Amino acid sequence: MPRPPSLICTDGAMCRKSSIAEEMKCVVVDGVVHFLIYPEFSYLHSSFERGSIASFNLETEEWMPTLRGPAPMRTFVTDLSLSNLCGCLVTVHNIRYTSMDLWFLSDFEKGLWVKEYSLPSQVARPRVYPLLVLDDERYCLCMDRHRILWYVFAWKLVFTHMT
């Protein structure tokens, strides 16, 4: 089996982190596993920038070209994670206590990303990870493994639910 293009982060144990947001460094979208290239090791390969993504096609069992993350993720050090929202690969750029930007991959071949959502400071907390976006612009986020956080865009309200 071919080797990945760089050291990648697959779970919290490798990353030495404990929250679900910090563990979400890989995600499956349409039969392709996407791995966030581990930022602390990206210096080992000068061709990889912070926020780069290694992609493995499960059907062909081949590594695909490495994706560059959105420009802000390559230059600004924050919490980075990946998500599958609405069937799209999403990079989550959590600028703690400021905003949480959700960048959707619009064209894999061209590496084009579109910032679809920018959630406000009350959502951009440590250890928060987006789970889904509903059609009425309600956002469901996971917080600390035991709490669900709902953000209602129209009302600018945050609700917390214990699981």
d(CA 119, CA 60): 36
Put residue 31 in one of left, alpha, beta given phi > 0 → left and psi -120 to 50 → alpha.
left
Q: What is the pLDDT of residues 2-38, one digit of tens each?
A: 666 655 655 544 444 444 444 568 899 999 999 988 6
Whole-number pLDDT of residue 162: 62
| Closest C-alpha to 129, from 62, 161, 64, 84 | 84
Whole-number pLDDT of residue 15: 46
Q: What is the pLDDT of residues 63-107, one digit of tens each?
A: 999 898 888 766 665 678 899 988 999 998 888 888 888 999 999
Greater pLDDT, 85 or 149: 85
